[in-house]
Every structure is written in structure tokens, then in C-alpha cells.
Amino acid sequence: MADPLFRTPKGTHDVLPEDHVYMTFIKKAVRHRARQAGYKRIDTPMFEYRGIFERGIGAHTDIVEKELFVVGSPHAEKADQDFALRPEFTAGICRSYIEHAMDQLPQPVELYAIGQCFRHDRPQKGRYRQFHQFDFEIIGLKDPSLDAQMIHVLSNILADLKILDRLTLQINNIGVAENRKAFAEALKEYFIGKERHLPELDRKRLQTSPLRLLDSKEEDTRILLKNAPTLAQFVGDDSKLYHATVLEYLQELGVPFVENAGLVRGLDYYTQTVFEYWDRSEGAQNAVGGGGRYDALIELLGGKPTPGVGFACGMERIVWHMKEAGIQAPNKDQVDIFVAQLGPEAKKQCLRLIATLRDRGVHTLGALGEASLKSQMRLADRFDVKYCLLLGKMEVLKNTVILRDMKAGKQKEMPFDEALPAVVELIGKKNLDRYVLKDGFGAVDED
Ligand code: AMP
């Protein structure tokens, strides 16, 4: 057993090359759909002043109260704990919108981000302490059509990744702050005399953030809630109309949904529209992604009142669904050709040949060690290459090279100068064009 000090910390994992194939594919779908809809990429720091999260997400939410990774310098004169690793993107992006006066840009500002988030959660299946999200935000304009269009972008991404049919869109409208305040009062009143039946945590929540009781997993709380006032009773007519219009637009766009009056989401900043994509098979609340409208957030962070709507998706959970559904992500890391050689002269020629093949877009490996040709061929097999070029002492003398089809087990000898065009022909122009750097790296995957 390895020393536990030298393993990944609890709740973290290495993204191994086989998983990067999926991650790359997801990012590609995200970028593709983002560009189609005019979203621009933004990166915010992985850590922010912790006040951004405490104020934005809410001091009494699980994410802030229990899961925030607080960081600071132990070397500072007075050890500080001023910062926190981002548990999500929205608060940081809104901070950035204000800091860079993006209200001066044409509105709405549509932004997307891809990267790691951190929550000091209890690790379990699909729940990590470091995980990847992609995140979309529309800030600066409010209209039900924006909520619906944004959900449509998300559903298109999930469809591109071939997991949409495993999920259902749950949607609700939780009204505006006054509605929720009135509901919270009513809920507190309802629980007068019943508090002692509530589990301790929920008793505390009743005081700090009563709405959180609605998604409590505690049996006792759930039973007590059956006769309690419902949030829907307090949602104002404006919000109801807004909700109906969002649903109408979703229908117009052909996005199926399930109305779910119990969906509140665990963050304080939401107003009106909230939604999540749930795993259909488990029926459990194992969300792949979720979001909603946050019209009060920018003001909370010191900006002027500015509406916003956004969502985030967990990439590890998407990878899990893709694997469960047997979906293969295209692997561009496949090695096309292996160059094997023997002797100092052959080695020099091969060095040049390998470099030229790579420039042309052929994925090329070469064993430039001193192993025998036979062991180099075995290596080529293990790399699962389609073709091999062999250059031994004899071939150097004759100025030829051997091209071997590894799957067919056939080979032919040809003049050395013909090797490059022959390989290019075999790999095919379509494949090569994908890999070659053109016009400022256009054909290469971005991070
Ligand atoms: P949330 O805003 O908390 O609903 O998070 C949005 C999405 O991020 C969720 O639907 C998950 O897919 C993903 N997510 C949130 N927390 C975690 C976690 N601890 N580990 C992995 N994925 C997570």
C-alpha cells in the first residue's frame, strides 16, 4: 500500500489521458454551441476574495458555510484567510462584469467559462472536492426568451454529447425576494410549536435560510412539510406570468420539461426561473447541471441593479453518463505511424523523416533507442499504430524504405523519397487537415 501522503487528496482525481478524450469532446461541444449563440469565453481567477462568495452565494448556504475552501498565506505577517477557491463561476463572473464596466458594452453580455471548481464536500459518487464545470451567463437584459434560449443551448450541448435522452429538465419559478421573504415568515409561523420535531440541522435552517427546508432529505422534515404553506402560494402574479412565458418559449423551441414546484436550488442568489437537468434513470436528484435567474446578485456585489441568468454543468457527471451510455468520444491522440530504424545512418534519416511527417499532420512516433527492429515492431503493436516505416542498414544502402500495414501484416519496399507522399495518401487528407496548424492555429483544439 502506497504512503497515503503520496496519493491524490480525498475527493480529487487525476484526469488521465483516456478521460481527457471525453473532456476535450465536451469542451468542443461547449465552444461550438457557445459561438453559434454569440457567447464569449471568460476566465476568472480560481480564487477570489471570500466575501464575493459569502455575499453572492449566501453565507448560510451549504456551499459557503460548509464547503468553501478558504485559502490565504500562512507566511503573511498576520496569517490571512482572505481568499477562497471558487465553488462555482457565477459570483466571480458577476464581479468581473462590474470590475470591467461591462455594462458599457452592448447588452446583454453573454459569457461562458470552462474550468475547475472546488467544494469541501463529502466525497461520494459524482461528488468531488475538485471538479470541472462549464458555465454560461447572460447579464444585462431580462426577458423570458433569454431564459428559454439559454436552456435550449444547454439542451443542444447535452444532445450533441448524446446524453439528453437520459435526462429530464426540471423547472420552477421561485418568485422574487419579497415573495420568498413572505413565504419564509409563513413557514416559520407554521413551525411554531413543531420545531422540536425537526432534526437539529433543519431547526437551524428554519432560522437562517428557511427555503432550504424544501429540499431537505430528512424524513421528519418532509413529513412535517406536507401540510406546510407552499412557496407557490407566495409567488407573485408577475413571476407566474414570467414563468408561463418561459414555458411557452421552451415549447416553441421543442425543449421538453417537467414543472417541479419543489425545485429551489441551494444558492441564495436565484430569483424567479430555476432549472436543473436530472438523471432520468435514477429518479434521484442527481443533477448534471442547473441554473437560474439572479436579478439581485450584481447589486449585492456592489454594482447597479442588473439582471442575469446562467447555468453550470458538471463535466465529470457528463463523462459518467457518456460512459454509461456507451458513447465513445473521438480520440484524436491516435498514433498514425511508427518509424522503426536500425543503424546510425538510418537513425539520422528517420529523425528528419519523423519531423517532416509530423509537420504534415501525421501523428508519428519513432523508437530512436538501440532496440532491435523486432522489438521496435512489438512496441509499434502496443501503440496500436496502423502503419510502420522501417529503415534498416540495407534500406539505407539502397536508398529505400519499407512501409508495413500492421493490421494486414503486409509490407512493400519503395524509394525513400516516396515514403512521405505514400503515408500522406494513406492517412487521408481529411484527417491530416484536422491536425495541421493553419491560419493562427485554427484547426487545433483550444483548452
Ligand atoms: P450547482 O450549481 O451546485 O447545482 O452545480 C452545478 C453542477 O455542477 C451540478 O449539477 C453538478 O453536475 C456539478 N457539481 C456540483 N458540485 C459538484 C461536486 N462536488 N462534484 C462534482 N460535480 C459537482
Distance 289 CA to ligand 1 centre (A): 7
pLDDT of residue 434: 60
Atom of ligand 1 nearest to the CA of 87: 16
217 and 119 Cβ atoms separated by less than 8 Å: no
pLDDT, mean over the chain: 90
Furthest C-alpha separation in the chain = 98
HEC assignment per residue over the chain: CCCHHHCCCCCCCCCCHHHHHHHHHHHHHHHHHHHHCCCEECCCCCEEEHHHHHHHCCCCCHHHHCCCCEECCCCCCCCCCCEEECCCCHHHHHHHHHHCCHHHCCCCEEEEEEEEEECCCCCECCECCEEEEEEEEEECCCCHHHHHHHHHHHHHHHHHCCCHHHEEEEEEECCCHHHHHHHHHHHHHHHCCCHHHCCHHHHHHHHHCHHHHHHCCCHHHHHHHCCCCCHHHCCCHHHHHHHHHHHHHHHHCCCCCEECCCCCCCCCCCEEEEEEEEECCCCCCCEEEEEEECCCHHHHCCCCCCCEEEEEEEHHHHHHHHHHCCCCCCCCCCCCEEEEECCHHHHHHHHHHHHHHHHCCCCEEEECCCCCHHHHHHHHHHCCCCEEEEECHHHHHHCEEEEEECCCCEEEEEEHHHHHHHHHHHHCHHHHHHHCCCCCCCCCCCC
Lowest mean pLDDT among 43-57, 66-80, 429-443: 429-443
Distance 201 CA to ligand 1 centre (A): 22
Digit-coded pLDDT (tens) for 226-255:
899 998 999 999 999 999 999 999 999 999
Q: What are phi and psi for residue 153, nearest 5 degrees?
A: -60, -45
Residue 346 has pLDDT above 60, yes or no: yes
- Label the pairing between strands 271-279 and 287-293: antiparallel
Instruction: Let me know the angle formed at the C-alpha of 439 by 433 and 27, rounded to the nearest 5 degrees.
Output: 70
Length of the chain as a residue count: 447
Distance 287 CA to ligand 1 centre (A): 7
Q: How far is CA 412 from its chain centroid? A: 47
Lowest mean pLDDT among 309-313, 392-396, 426-430: 426-430
- The C-alpha cell at 4 is 497515503
Residue 371 has pLDDT above 90, yes or no: no
Rounded to an integer, what distance in angstroms lies between the CA atom of residue 405 and that of residue 410? 5
pLDDT of residue 120: 94
- 114 contacts: CB under 8 Å, gap ≥ 6: 27, 30, 41, 132, 133, 134, 135, 447
1 — pLDDT class (breaks 50, 70, 90)? low
Digit-coded pLDDT (tens) for 90-145:
999 999 999 999 999 999 999 999 999 999 989 988 899 999 999 999 999 999 99
Rounded to an integer, what distance in angstroms lies between the CA atom of residue 285 and that of residue 153? 22
Provide residues with CB under 6 Å of ligand 1.
88, 119, 121, 126-128, 131, 133, 287-290, 312-314, 316-317
Cis preceding-peptide flag for 415 (omega within 30 of 0): no
Share of the chain above pLDDT 90, in %: 63
Rounded to an integer, what distance in angstroms lies between the CA atom of residue 344 and that of residue 195? 84
- pTM (2 decimals)? 0.90
**Partner residues linked to 302 by β-bridges:** none
Atom of ligand 1 nearest to the CA of 266: 3
Residue 440 has pLDDT above 50, yes or no: no
Q: Whose CA is nearest to atom 14 of ligand 1?
A: 314
Distance 92 CA to ligand 1 centre (A): 16
Q: Which domains does the chain have, with CATH numbers?
A: 17-176+236-324 (3.30.930.10), 337-432 (3.40.50.800)
273 and 147 Cβ atoms separated by less than 8 Å: yes
259 and 274 Cβ atoms separated by less than 8 Å: no
166 — pLDDT class (breaks 50, 70, 90)? very high
Distance 115 CA to ligand 1 centre (A): 12
Rounded to an integer, what distance in angstroms lies between the CA atom of residue 134 and that of residue 30? 8
